[in-house]
Structure 1
Amino acid sequence: MLTLAILGFLYDRPLHGYQLKSRITGLTGHIRPVSDGALYPAITRLEKAGLLHRRTEPGSGAAPRQVLELTGAGRAELLRRLAEPEPVEISDQIRFFTVAAFLDLLPDPARQAAVLRRRLAFLQEPSSFFYDGDGAPVTAENEPNPFRRGMLLVARASGEAERAWLTDTITALEAARP
């Protein structure tokens, strides 16, 4: 997720490390905050892989600033990752939202729709946070604990909203195909 977010935010414009961190934090929020200890080693790995490069610019104070910019290989890697997300990037909501945040950069509506169809297929599989003694999923209707029932109701409503959005967006993307 972090690599995808770095590549995605640098796709449009070069950024300083602090600007990049702010954008990633805005995307993932309090759910998965990014620390300097995770961000800067990831940037170094991407630089060593030839996906981005750093250049030094004068800072507003005395210290120079490191500006991060994608290379052609970085752009290609971002587009590959958007077209072919890993299974966890489909099943994990925050990771999927990271993919979705940059999916418009993928120029082919058919490939965009294919990614959304994968997420929709995942969401159509039965699931629950809780299971009874026989391994059957617990539903809001048969959950006596009011707090767990609340979790199940919220998850159901969120899932219904996401499935409706995915269906509508897939339909629109398929209608836009030449």
Structure 2
Amino acid sequence: MYELFVLGELMTGEKHGYMLQDVLNNAVGLGRKISSGTLYPLLSRMTEAGWIHLRIEEETKGGRTRKIYAITDAGRQRFEELMKETLEPNPEAEAALIFRFKMVYFGYVTKEVRLACLEDYLQIIRRSREYVSRFEAYLQSQQPEPAKQRNQLLRMFDYRKRLGEADEAWITAEIERIQAEED
């Protein structure tokens, strides 16, 4: 997932490691942070794989050196492959995060790749909604105890259903909008 993010960010232009870490931390949202101990080994592996190029630059303030990363042709190819990869529904939250990363970089892929990604995520949303509906029906028919917990589970499922409905409506509208775009 972080490979996709790094390559996507580098599609926009070269960046130094601290900037990549800062943007990534903002992208993953509250409660989840990417440490230097995660990011820099990833950048090293990506450099070794030939997907990105590292350039060392002397920084004028403080005399510190700065590592600047840029995407290579092999990195652009890898980015395209990652954008085309099918989303895995488990864990669902991870699929949602990867989908959001992909959406940010839709401007760098073809209409077909964007539509495939949206359709892929739409299927995950629909499967999730089906799961919630089945479990909700089970709770209503079996009436497991304690009632207090059962009732709260039903409230939580109502919340998830409403989120799923909104997600599905938005994704469906986005698919229609992209389909209407001229090639």
TM-score after normalising by structure 1 = 0.84
2:169: which partner in 1? 164
One of 123, 130, 136 as aligned partner of 1:138: 136
From the CA coordinates, give the structure whose radius of gyration is larger.
2
CA contact 2:53–2:71 (8 Å) conserved in 1: yes
Aligned to 2:131, the other structure's residue is in SS state coil
CA RMSD in angstroms comes to: 2.5
1:148: which partner in 2? 153
Counterpart-to-counterpart distance in 2, 1:99 and 1:169: 14
Stretch moving more, 138-147 or 168-177:
138-147
Counterpart-to-counterpart distance in 1, 2:57 and 2:34: 24
Amino acid at match of 1:2: Y
1:20: which partner in 2? 20
| Structure 1: segments with no counterpart, 5+ residues | none
Distance change >3 Å, CA 9–CA 150, structure 1 → 2: farther
| Structure 2: segments with no counterpart, 5+ residues | none
> Offset of 1:155 from its aligned partner?
1.7
Give 1 or 2: higher helix fraction: 2
Aligned to 1:138, the other structure's residue is in SS state helix
Aligned to 1:171, the other structure's residue is in SS state helix
TM-score after normalising by structure 2 = 0.82
> Offset of 1:139 from its aligned partner?
5.6
Runs of at least 4 residues off by over 4 Å: 88-91
Counterpart-to-counterpart distance in 1, 2:177 and 2:165: 18
Counterpart-to-counterpart distance in 2, 1:101 and 1:139: 37
Amino acid at match of 1:110: E
1:101: which partner in 2? 104
Counterpart-to-counterpart distance in 1, 2:81 and 2:107: 13
Alignment of 1:61-72 (within 5 A): 61-72=62-73
Counterpart-to-counterpart distance in 2, 1:174 and 1:90: 29
Aligned to 1:53, the other structure's residue is in SS state strand
Percent of aligned pairs sharing the same letter: 25
Aligned residues: 171
Amino acid at match of 1:137: F
1:114: which partner in 2? 116
1:17-62 deviation per Cα after TM superposition (whole angstroms, max 9, x unaligned) = 1100011011102243211111111101100000001111121211
